[in-house]
Chains A and B, each alone.
Chain A
Amino acid sequence: MNTEQQRKERLDRGIKVRSDGLYALMGWQELTYLTLPRLVLILGFLALPLVMPSMYWNRVITIVCIYALLALSFDFLAHFVGLVSLGGAFFIGVGGYLSAIFNTSFGIPPMLSIPMAALSGAIVCTVLLLPCLPLRGVYFAIVTLMYPLALARVIEATDILGGTDGILGIDSFPNEWVEQYSVILLVLLFLFAIRRLVNTDVGLVIRAVKDNDQAVRASGMSVNFYKAGAVFIGSAMGCMGGACLVHVYMWGGISLFALDFSILPIAATVIGGSGTLVGPVLGCLILVPISELLRDFGTLRIVFYSILLVCFVVFRSEGLMVYGERKYHQFERWVKV
């Protein structure tokens, strides 16, 4: 039997080491190495609406961006704050209904009602979730899952807010270009803002809450205060998405509380790579169009979809982005042990 064993060795690329910190200013190669991935992402997103073959696919891009906001919110809450949220549907529903009410009842134009709905929705969501913030473990997930189910039934049973018919006659965006570039810019804005936030000192405290909440309490800071702040940010992103959605569909109803909004962002985070923030956005960019392509298969598409997900979880559980980052920054070789 051959007892010689091989081991895979990973080493940082020379250019990665050379472009650390101030050394990035050494030359155009190092600068390109650092900025290229970001530029590709930004320019790629901005070019997307221009290269889509039809109106139908342009609409898909809008939906991708709304899901991307939800996935960002999930990734931020789960991997930086330690709160596993199944509340995508909750955030979408609250933001969507609020924006619909602002627009139809008070005549506020979409470009104003969306940020208003995001802010007020985030306040509503945070206040409703406050009681379960001190709890650790799965309770936060359960409560965030329960709220959208309950709210949908309440609206159905009491026939408020249009009941099962929903709210009709909501203004759309001024035109489709404004619609698409608004949501694309929102995704890019939140993506880079959250990335910056988690690396500041406040972000460090938020991450510390996930790592070790007892030590944060022993340091004289209220864990619940920081959790509430993080939930506010996370739900603001979700509500923003929901508010955009009702103006895209020009209709808002109880389907805003559909479970898809909770589940798909999680799947996208798994595929894209959790904790990377960019990964979940890319995950949405893959999953939502696939889900559209599979529409021809009718209900069978759920099966294809599930198989794809299972394959990812089993064979690439780290996620695309973690894999990609490794390939970009490091090279691998086999060495004899």
Chain B
Amino acid sequence: MSDQPILEVKDLTKAFGGILALNRVNFHLNEGEILGIIGPNGSGKTTIVNCITGFIRATSGQIFFRGKNITGKAAHKIADMGVTRTFQIMRPYFSLPAYKNLVIPLFSPRAKRTGGWRGGGKLGDRNTVGIDILEEIGFERDSRVPYKKASSLPTGYLKRLELARCLALKPDIILCDEVFSGLSMSEIASMVPLIERLQMDGVTLIMIEHRLRELFRVADRIMVLNFGEKLTEGTSDEVMANEKVKEAYFGSEEVEEVMSYA
């Protein structure tokens, strides 16, 4: 592992009109780690993902991937470099069967170069590779699930399909935008080892989550955002002990006092 961080974000700022969605956020990501980003609704978590992956343009600040400046690059070029993302609201190709959903990312230049997940530089038949990836991500190969239309799949499988689309590109980084939300406890229980296995395979992950219990299990480091600013950063215990974090999530003591008089 080199000492240079795989991803470095410097003074990232994004303004939507007069509202600062992100205000001078700095953080870095080491190769092979899982960084959790938490924060109340509207704190700018998804905006960070959108800025890093090029889906929206940052107002100011810089983003470096392996030392190269990727600020302002087109989304498909950033994905081509290996920085992939999932969408919070799942975006599969609804009219296609699940495995055909993967034929599309497997058609991309990056998948042709890398051979896709476990491809080892050589891309086989796209349909077969697609089903292989689906099996690894938790679609039962011998069932009919991989052949079902995406529109008839339940949320749990669609979240997995989002991850599978990233895996088809053989990514260096996956930015997961709430892959646990909307899942049942048992679905999450099977998702956690999946994330851990991805980390063991050398993928670096940023995970945006509201499910703190599961996130704290997998994440090496946690960053807390509030109103577009970085509150604190550290291990899960450090973060939970932090007064500012409690304030952001549960309101300040003054507010509680006022409420108690009312």
Q: Which residues of A contact B (CB under 8 A)?
A: 201-202, 204-205, 207-208, 211-212, 214-223
B53 in the interface, Cβ–Cβ < 8 Å? yes
Contact with A along B72-108 (1 / 0, CB 8 A): 0011110110001101000111111000100111011
User: Which residue of the partner chain B has the closest CB to A213?
Assistant: B91
A221 and B107 within 8 A (CB): yes
Contact with A along B156-172 (1 / 0, CB 8 A): 00000000011011000
B109 in the interface, Cβ–Cβ < 8 Å? yes
B76 and A211 within 8 A (CB): no
Which of A211, A212, A214, A220 is within 8 Å of B169, CB to CB? A220
Set of chain A residues within 8 Å of B100, measured between Cβ atoms: 204
User: Which residue of the partner chain A has the closest CB to B78?
Assistant: A220
Given contacts A201-B126, A219-B165, A221-B109, 11 further A-B contacts (CB under 8 A): A202-B107, A204-B100, A204-B104, A207-B96, A214-B91, A215-B87, A217-B55, A218-B85, A219-B169, A220-B109, A221-B104
A211 and B95 within 8 A (CB): yes
Measured in the bound complex, the distance between the Cα atoms of B76 and A114 in whole Å is: 37
Which of A201, A204, A208, A220 is within 8 Å of B79, CB to CB? A220
B93 and A218 within 8 A (CB): no
Set of chain B residues within 8 Å of A218, measured between Cβ atoms: 53, 55, 75, 79, 84-85, 87, 91, 165-166
Interchain nearest-CB distance for B123 vs A (Å): 11
Measured in the bound complex, the distance between the Cα atoms of B105 and A217 in whole Å is: 9
22 CB contacts below 8 A, A to B, read: A201-B126, A204-B96, A207-B93, A207-B95, A212-B92, A214-B55, A215-B93, A215-B165, A217-B74, A218-B53, A218-B84, A218-B166, A219-B105, A219-B168, A220-B76, A220-B80, A220-B105, A220-B108, A220-B109, A220-B111, A220-B169, A221-B107
Known: A201-B126, A208-B93, A222-B74. A216 touches B104 (CB 8 A): yes
Measured in the bound complex, the distance between the Cα atoms of B75 and A149 in whole Å is: 36
Interchain nearest-CB distance for B171 vs A (Å): 10
Set of chain A residues within 8 Å of B104, measured between Cβ atoms: 204-205, 208, 215-216, 219, 221
Measured in the bound complex, the distance between the Cα atoms of B100 and A220 in whole Å is: 17
Measured in the bound complex, the distance between the Cα atoms of B104 and A137 in whole Å is: 23
Set of chain A residues within 8 Å of B93, measured between Cβ atoms: 207-208, 211-212, 215
Known: A220-B76, A220-B80. A205 touches B165 (CB 8 A): no
B221 in the interface, Cβ–Cβ < 8 Å? no
B14 in the interface, Cβ–Cβ < 8 Å? no
Which of B75, B94, B95, B107 is within 8 Å of A217, CB to CB? B75
B110 in the interface, Cβ–Cβ < 8 Å? yes
Count of B interface residues, CB-CB < 8 Å: 31
User: Which residue of the partner chain A has the closest CB to B108?
Assistant: A220
Measured in the bound complex, the distance between the Cα atoms of B233 and A137 in whole Å is: 42
Measured in the bound complex, the distance between the Cα atoms of B87 and A217 in whole Å is: 12
Interchain nearest-CB distance for A49 vs B (Å): 39
Measured in the bound complex, the distance between the Cα atoms of B109 and A220 in whole Å is: 7
A205 and B87 within 8 A (CB): no
Set of chain B residues within 8 Å of A208, measured between Cβ atoms: 93, 96, 104
Set of chain A residues within 8 Å of B87, measured between Cβ atoms: 214-215, 218
Set of chain B residues within 8 Å of A220, measured between Cβ atoms: 76-77, 79-80, 84, 105, 108-111, 169
- Nearest 7 pairs of A and B residues by beta carbon: A220-B79, A219-B105, A220-B80, A220-B108, A217-B75, A215-B91, A211-B93
Interchain nearest-CB distance for A78 vs B (Å): 15
Measured in the bound complex, the distance between the Cα atoms of B92 and A223 in whole Å is: 16
Known: A204-B104, A211-B93, A214-B55. A219 touches B126 (CB 8 A): no
Measured in the bound complex, the distance between the Cα atoms of B85 and A60 in whole Å is: 54
Set of chain A residues within 8 Å of B111, measured between Cβ atoms: 220
Set of chain B residues within 8 Å of A201, measured between Cβ atoms: 103, 107, 126
User: Which residue of the partner chain B has the closest CB to A216?
Assistant: B104
Known: A201-B103, A204-B100, A214-B55. A219 touches B91 (CB 8 A): no
Set of chain A residues within 8 Å of B55, measured between Cβ atoms: 214, 217-218
Measured in the bound complex, the distance between the Cα atoms of B95 and A212 in whole Å is: 10
Measured in the bound complex, the distance between the Cα atoms of B55 and A214 in whole Å is: 8
User: Which residue of the partner chain B has the closest CB to A221?
Assistant: B108
Known: A201-B103, A201-B126, A205-B107. A222 touches B91 (CB 8 A): no
Set of chain B residues within 8 Å of A222, measured between Cβ atoms: 74, 76
Residue in B74, B76, B93, B104 with the greatest tally of chain A CB atoms within 10 Å: B104
Measured in the bound complex, the distance between the Cα atoms of B109 and A218 in whole Å is: 13
Interchain nearest-CB distance for A230 vs B (Å): 15
User: Which residue of the partner chain A has the closest CB to B80?
Assistant: A220
Interchain nearest-CB distance for B52 vs A (Å): 12
Set of chain A residues within 8 Å of B75, measured between Cβ atoms: 217-218
B126 and A215 within 8 A (CB): no
Interchain nearest-CB distance for A236 vs B (Å): 22
Interchain nearest-CB distance for B172 vs A (Å): 12
User: Which residue of the partner chain B has the closest CB to A214?
Assistant: B91
A221 and B76 within 8 A (CB): yes
Measured in the bound complex, the distance between the Cα atoms of B87 and A201 in whole Å is: 23
Contact with A along B57-84 (1 / 0, CB 8 A): 0000000000000000011110110001
